[in-house]
Structure 1
Amino acid sequence: MRKYRLMDWPTFLVSLLILISVVVPLIAFPEASRDTILQLNAWVTTGLGAVYLSIALAVFCFVLYIAFGKYGQVTLGAESDDPEFGTFSWAAMLFCAGIGSSILYWGVIEWVYYYQAPPFHLEPGSEEAINYASTYGIFHWGPIAWAIYVLPALPIAYALYVKKTPILKISLACEPLLGRQTKRWPGKLIDILFIFGLLGGAGTTLGLATPMIAAGIEVLFGIDDGGTMLRVGILISATAIFAFSAYSGLKRGIKVLSDINLWLTFLLLGFVFIVGPTVFIMETTVSSVGLMLKDFFRMATWLEPFGGYRDVPETSFPQDWTVFYWAWWLVYAPFVGLFIARISKGRRLKEVVLGTLLYGTLGCVLFFGILGNYGLWLEISGTFSVTEVINNESGEAAIMAIIGQLPFGKITTALFVVTALIYLATTFDSGSYILAGTTQSEVEGEPYRWNRLFWAFALSVLPFSLMLISGEDSLSLLQTASIVAGAPLIVIFAMLMISFVKTLGEDRIKLEERRRKHKEKERRTLSITHAKRDRWWE
């Protein structure tokens, strides 16, 4: 019975029941489920858009305050502790866990949607629309996204390595506000909402990646239309890979797979950069980063409030994109944050914050700058019409068509597909690892293997269900899975920020009090020594 001793059964069972209660209606009543999901999407994005944008900007400012404020030099562990992982492996694991194969989907074609339906009521296809088309993807996957990711990492890592609490739960970070309720139902509810959010985010990621990988296999093997069976086969294969990785553990599975994935990424991006329009890619990427920095706060707060009034057209651009992305990062953030916390022993808070923001943003800039701008160049140079493929076929077909324009098309497509598959695995092996930790009351070394394996397969159930009901509205359905699941996490994130500042403040007061007592003790000891010496001389 030892392998069940540390299980948090209430959290485990309730999370499982919620998953079943969501999946069964999706399969049993697909039409009604589709209509309900789309209605929820409209309600959440319209009613909570301002809240999503506000919490994201608040988190960004908060983590910068932690990094550059009086707590930035706090070490996660003893002062003498060296980082558990080298910088390369640390950066690789946090990037691969936080991004996954979705960046290979959006990094290649996201610019198309902005090019055809640009923000700020710009003329589609105009020069300004082209500028923002290559910029908005970098913004959505940039500093704010990684700030949302790193926030939960800070209090969890602090609890793990400073307070020596062997628990991988997001509720633990709220203990300064919840007190004893952390181990009762209020705390369990927070963990359950986190699990629910991650399952929704997984539905979006797997739902986007599986058709893309299927399209690549169709191109490689000359299959006209593999249909649902091919996608189900890919989903099962990907699940088997990340289940094995999660079962192998952090150092033998997840770390090795992340390192391999980063080298494949360098190979893919380097090849496209060299054989593609190199000067165009460099100039467009630099210009895009500059435009993002110039309009950063405008893009972070724009919600199109005047759309539909008088002569102002209504496009719902921020609701469809910025709100969706912030919700997507929110549902993944507790999991990515817990994972970053687990691999950050021995690092300072400032190092964790700035490293996550820098490495994460830089990696995404490379993807959007190289892959995205290569596709943009094909379009505006007249070499190949990407927009025509997207409008007449699908996003995944456009991705494979773009990759197919490169030299050695079959080899490049194979490299792209393998990279996407491993990115998918590195995200979900980390996810199953953290879900297993969340459903245990304590973690002795690593979560139980059977528990890690169970959640690896559970993560694929919701995207499988969404795949069965998706049709013309598939993208909206997948986006809604993240947006709706992320809504409860807005409150949790506000609690995280308040709780962490309270914890740091209280611990700093205790530390200063210990230092004061230590100095007072040293002073008294020194006074006694001097008094004894004086009496001896007398």
Structure 2
Amino acid sequence: MKFKQIDWPTFIGALVLLLAVSVPLVVFPESGNKVVNIANEFMTRRLGVVYLIAGLGILFFMLYVSFSEKGKIKLGDMDEEPEFNNFSWAGMIFCAGIGASILYWSTIEWAYYYQSPPFGIEQGTEEAVLWASSYGMFHWGPIAWGMYSLPALTIAYFYYVRKKPVLKISEATRPVIGKLADTPIGNLIDILFMFGLIGGAATTLALGTPMIAYGLENLFGLQVSLFVKTIVLLVCTTIFAVSAYVGLNKGIKVLSDINLWGSIFLIAFVFVFGPTQFIAETTLNSIGLIFDNFFRMSTWTEPYNSLGPYERTGFPESWTIFYWAWWLVYAPFVGLFVAKISRGRTLKQMVLGTIAYGSTGSILFFGVIGNYGLHMQLTGKFDVISVLENNEPAKAIIDVIGTLPLSFVMVALFTILSVIFLATTFDSSSYILASVVQNEVEGEPLRWNRLFWAFALCLMPLVLMFLGGLSALQTASIVGGFPLIFIMILLAISFMRASTGDIKDAGEYEPKAIHIDFEDVKRVRKKKKKKKGPDETHVEQDREE
């Protein structure tokens, strides 16, 4: 074992922080819940506007970079072809970026919006239905994938252009913090990233595990309990540990391809055998509604609802701010992963591909599976909301899938996809965590290192399942995401400084400014006039004037 390759201060620091948070929550669950609620209230109510500004700012920054001259920068040598084809590349990005959470939320998220609509709309109305169908697509759309792209941009640039064989957030911020990257401050940046990733990953795993357990109950009558959920969690952990151990090409790529084909089949089956016209019309209508209200949805904070006669709904804090924090938590991890698999592409291709493929996949899941559940509710064929109110959300999800034709087959497929989605997310997570605590990563991280972090990832989900409740899961993401706002700012500044300086100093660089000598222009135009007829010359004179 090559222990000298490990960055031990970062390795031990991240592990100590993980234990320092997890153990007290298990030993003192009641006090832990109180602390969780206080943290949730403070982060969302007092600092929520920071998350909203960060979301919009990051998206527009990424679009600016993509369409600027920096977007033309190639990751790797100029004649180098992409390491993975577009299908596998898109599949790995999508599966790593959303995990089993897309199966969870796309099926039932509309029900929460239907009962508690945004903008003070009355629940159960036609307008509530419109927003219920749309808001999930917005939360999982371009802003989310824009956040994922920022760390990918900076890390890929340093890894493939500046040839730094280190996959560390601290290394990517070196143009801003300088030699501090080699001090405990650099370690702290990497530890905060790792803790944020573990907290966000815990949320996904704690949501996905009960869904798999209820799938097994539906299929085989296995009664769901905390013990069963724990066994499911450990089995899933073993699966993605093996995948991470095997490596990027043989493990993660293969699972991602399988998952993508399975997802395509699931969506196509629901679309064809479900209410096809309703799904198509509602999805298209939702896309239009989002375009019309994008900035309103991105900046809504309910500023007046805590005053006078207005009642505060808490919608922005419970949903938009929660999601933006969740994406921030995952962003460095997904960015590291996207950077690692994007060799041979330009920065523009990497950024726009991530945003486009990710948003499209999310729209398909929410548009097809979400609107199928909404149709069941509106037509009275299945009361999703009633099941949701009286049971765990995971049971409502499996029951919705159980209303499809060939229900046993579709529930089995849905459960298998849940397992593989978790595996593709967490083998990628353990792969990246292992990369961060290594001093150099020329090929792949050490295998024992990957295995260690694969099993370390299951500690926090066990704690969150023990505590129970969605608020604990949301707070894990929100609290973990806040420090990452500042890390994202550092990454953006680092990229701009490094790439701007490198372009100017490059041997083949030419200034993009255009110098115009108008005397030469007039001489050229006179020559053109002599070759034209009188009518054309008159038009040319008018244009010049």
Query: Structure 1 length normalisation: TM-score?
Result: 0.94
Superposition deviation, residue 394 in structure 1: 2.2
State the match for 1:329 in structure 2. 327
Paired position in structure 2 for 1:395 = 393
CA-CA distance at 1:494 after TM superposition: 1.0
- 1:327-406 to structure 2, matched below 5 A, reads 327-406=325-404
Alignment of 1:77-476 (within 5 A): 77-223=76-222, 225-470=223-468, 474-476=469-471
- Residue 226 of structure 1: how far off its partner (Å): 2.2
Asked if 1:496 is matched to 2:491, the reply is yes
Q: Choose from 485, 493, 506 the match for 1:511.
A: 506
CA distance in 2, matches of 1:416, 1:513: 53
SS at match of 1:76: coil
Alpha-carbon RMSD across the aligned residues, in angstroms, is 1.1
**1:487 maps onto 2:487 in alignment:** no
Which deviates more, 507-516 or 385-394? 507-516
Q: Residue 440 of structure 2: SS of its match in structure 1?
A: coil
Task: Give the 3-state SS of the residue equivalent to 1:295 in structure 2.
Answer: helix
User: In the alignment, residue 161 of structure 1 is paired with which amino acid?
Assistant: Y
Does structure 2 retain, via aligned residues, the 8 Å contact 1:101–1:209? yes
- Give the direction of change, closer, same or farther, for the CA distance of 1:375–1:515 in structure 2 (3 Å limit): closer
Report deviation, 1:321. Answer: 0.3
Give the SS at the match of 2:439: coil
Q: Secondary structure at the match of 1:176?
A: helix
* 1:54-92 C-alpha deviation (Å, 9 max, x unpaired): 011100000000111121111111111111111111000
Aligned to 2:514: none
Instruction: State the Cα distance separating 1:513 from its structure 2 match.
Output: 7.7
Relative to 1, partners in 2 of residues 1:35 and 1:79: Cα closer, same or farther, differing over 3 Å?
same
Deviations 1:290-323 (A, max 9, x none): 1011101110000111112222221010000000
- State the Cα distance separating 1:287 from its structure 2 match: 0.5
1:528 equivalent in structure 2: none
Determine the structure 2 residue equivalent to 1:4. Answer: 3
1:74 aligns with 2:73: yes
Shift of 1:249: 0.5
Structure 2 residue runs of 5 or longer lacking an equivalent are: 512-545
**Alpha-carbon distance in structure 1 between the residues aligned to 2:80 and 2:13:** 38
Distance 1:290 1:172 in 2: 41
SS in 2 for 1:5: helix
Deviations 1:173-228 (A, max 9, x none): 111101111121111111000001011101111111111111111111123x3201
| Residue pair 1:6, 1:443 contacting (<8 A) in 2 also | no
Q: Alpha-carbon deviations, 1:107-152, whole Å to 9, x = none?
A: 0000000000000000101111100100000000000000000110
Residue deviations 1:156-186 (CA, integer Å, cap 9, x gap): 1111111111111111111110111112111
AA partner of residue 196 (structure 2) = G
Identify the residue that residue 518 of structure 2 maps to in structure 1: none
Residue 30 (structure 2) aligns with: 31
How far does residue 411 in structure 1 lie from its aligned partner after superposition?
1.0
Secondary structure of 1:119's partner? Answer: coil
The 10-residue stretch of structure 1 (4-13 or 304-313) with the greater mean CA deviation from structure 2 = 304-313
Q: Please list the CA deviations of residues 475-494 of structure 1 after superposition, one character each: whole Å capped at 9, or x if unmatched.
A: 11111100001111111111
Change (3 A) 1:515 1:58: closer
| Structure 1 CA distance for aligned equivalents of residues 507 and 284 of structure 2 | 46
CA distance in 2, matches of 1:24, 1:314: 35
Cross-structure match for 1:524: none
Q: Distance in 1 between matches of 2:72 and 2:456?
A: 39
- Check conservation: 2:503, 2:509, Cα contact below 8 A: no
Q: How far apart, in 2, do the equivalents of 1:487 and 1:106 lie?
A: 23
Q: SS at the partner of 2:453?
A: helix
Letter in 2 for 1:217: L
Q: Name the structure 2 match of 1:520.
A: none
The TM-score normalised by the length of structure 2 is 0.93
Give the aligned residue type for 1:478: L
Q: Deviation of residue 444 (structure 1)? A: 2.7
Q: How many residues align?
A: 511
Distance 1:438 1:396 in 2: 33
Over residues 437-459 of structure 1, what are the superposed CA-to-partner deviations in whole Å (9 max), with x where a residue is unaligned?
A: 00011113100000000000001
CA apart distance, 1:514: 7.2
1:62 aligns with 2:57: no
SS at match of 2:165: coil
Determine what percentage of the aligned residue pairs are the same residue: 55
In structure 1, runs of 5+ residues without a counterpart are 517-538
Task: Verify the 8 A CA contact 2:146 2:355 in the aligned structure 1.
Answer: yes
1:216-261 residue CA offsets vs partner (Å, 9 max, x unmatched): 11111123x3201110010001000100000000001000010010
**1:14 and 2:9 are equivalent in the alignment:** no
